[in-house]
Amino acid sequence: MTRVLVTGATGFVGRRLCPKLLERGHDVVATVRRLGLSSIPTGVDAAEIPDIGPDTDWTQVLSGIDTVVHLAARVHVTREGAADPSNAFGRINTEGTAVLARAAATAGVGRFVHVSTSKVMGESSGNLPFCETDPPMPEDAYGISKWGGENALRDAARSMSMETVIVRPPLVYGPGVGANFLTLLKVCRLALPLPFAAINNGRSIVYIDNLVDALIRCLERPEAAGETYFVRDSEDLSTPELIRRITAAMDRPARLFPFPASLLRLAGRVTGNAATVNRALGSLQVDDGKIRRHLGWTPSVDVVQGLQETVAWFTSRTGPRDDADITR
């Protein structure tokens, strides 16, 4: 039986991963900011780690641990409160990962599964999906810090006999999702007119249960040692098609109209929302062929079902809206 330490266990992915690891027969230790204040599944042991950064002491937490799954990270924030965002991202995602990786290697941890991001490759894949042999070119503070974390992990593992696996997911969605995807759900629920009808881009996404299944394979399968993998659902979607799928699952109309992309980008720059607009208009696709070949992994949940499950969760927490509530 493998004893697994999961950082970020109370986050979006961690809440789904820990019960699945228990079902697979693993012992699970979850890091929490403060004992007694965080909800973790029955059967999971809690370890208090108030802060992840360059000064974190992992010595006691790593005692007896066979495998680490590192989910904890500083991710995008809607309203940035840090005076120096780059430093804030780097402190947790780069320096924090480096300290944990060195401590894990020193403690004799056998494998370290690190959840990175497709954004280490950049903000746009262009005409071809990113693959693992492409050179990473992160552009924003988050992507740069996660690329730094990958390199820190590799450096720590090189000096000691610890296996590493790096997983780079694109946008993760599913019940419990937050951030930009939750905002999109709210917009679709209102059936607002949106200027994306003429956009012909491609975006890779991954349903949370598909990602969790991939992480478990990376944890358990010997062939994964030393590898880096992209994961995705079996179907990429354009921005207008994603909106149509979500509104269909909500039984709402998709009110899309064409508008010049150049003017949308200009509006994004003027309003300070250039990054958000560029994500909506650009392509960010990944090739998951490597993990399929190496580990025999395929996503078990298709996009239609994944979006239906996500919408069902969203509706259950917000309540139904009838046609009288729809903006016309």
Residues known to be catalytic? 142
Residue 49 domain-assigned (yes or no): yes
Number of domains in the chain: 2
- For residue 253, give Cα distances in angstroms to 249, 280, 297: 10, 19, 35
Residue 226 domain-assigned (yes or no): no
The tokens 């208009």 sit on which residue?
A: 281
Q: How many residues does the chain have?
A: 328
User: Where among 144, 168, 192 does a domain terminate?
Assistant: 168
Residue 262 domain-assigned (yes or no): yes
The verdict on 129 and 189 lying in the same domain is: no
Model confidence, pTM: 0.92
The verdict on 142 and 117 lying in the same domain is: yes
The verdict on 11 and 91 lying in the same domain is: yes
The verdict on 130 and 150 lying in the same domain is: yes
Residue 251: name the closest of 328, 178, 321 by CA: 321
Task: Determine the residue type at 86.
Answer: S
The verdict on 128 and 193 lying in the same domain is: no
Residue 32 domain-assigned (yes or no): yes
The verdict on 159 and 308 lying in the same domain is: no
Angle at CA 214, nearest 5°, toward 73 and 181?
A: 55
Predicted confidence at residue 328, as pLDDT, reads 23
Residue 219 domain-assigned (yes or no): no
Residue 206 domain-assigned (yes or no): no
The verdict on 196 and 133 lying in the same domain is: no
Pairing verdict, β 67-70 and 45-48: unpaired
N-to-C CA span, the chain: 57
Residue 288 domain-assigned (yes or no): no
The verdict on 187 and 41 lying in the same domain is: no
- Partner residues linked to 286 by β-bridges: 130
Alpha-carbon gap, residue 328 to 326, rounded angstroms: 6
Predicted confidence at residue 276, as pLDDT, reads 84
Alpha helices in 177-271 (DSSP H): 179-190, 208-220, 239-250, 261-271
The verdict on 113 and 191 lying in the same domain is: no
Alpha-carbon gap, residue 190 to 325, rounded angstroms: 8
What is the span of the domain harbouring residue 194? Answer: 179-200+236-283+302-325
The verdict on 30 and 95 lying in the same domain is: yes
- What DSSP character marks residue 65? -
Query: Do 119 and 160 touch, CB atoms closer than 8 A?
Result: no
The verdict on 164 and 195 lying in the same domain is: no
Residue 223 domain-assigned (yes or no): no
Tell me the DSSP string of 136-168.
P---SHHHHHHHHHHHHHHHHHHHTT-EEEEEE
The tokens 């980008």 sit on which residue?
A: 265
Predicted confidence at residue 272, as pLDDT, reads 87
The tokens 């012909």 sit on which residue?
A: 200
* Contacts by residues 33-41 (CB-CB < 8 Å, ≥ 24 positions apart): 38/10, 39/10, 40/9, 40/10
One pLDDT digit (tens) per residue for the chain, 328 residues: 799 999 999 999 999 999 999 999 999 999 998 886 677 888 899 999 988 999 999 999 999 999 999 999 988 654 545 556 778 889 999 999 999 999 999 999 999 999 999 999 999 998 899 999 999 999 999 999 999 999 999 998 887 789 999 999 999 999 999 888 999 999 999 999 999 999 999 999 999 999 999 999 999 999 999 999 999 999 999 999 999 999 999 999 999 999 999 899 998 999 888 888 888 898 999 999 999 999 999 999 999 999 999 999 999 987 655 443 333 2
Tokens of 171: 């946008």
Q: Name the strand (E) or helix (H) holding 22.
A: helix 14-23
The verdict on 54 and 29 lying in the same domain is: yes
Predicted confidence at residue 250, as pLDDT, reads 95
Predicted confidence at residue 82, as pLDDT, reads 56
CATH at residue 49 = 3.40.50.720
Burial 202-238, CB ≥16 within 10 A → b, else e? bbbbbbbbbbbbbbbbbbbeeebeebbbbbbbeebbe
Predicted confidence at residue 37, as pLDDT, reads 64
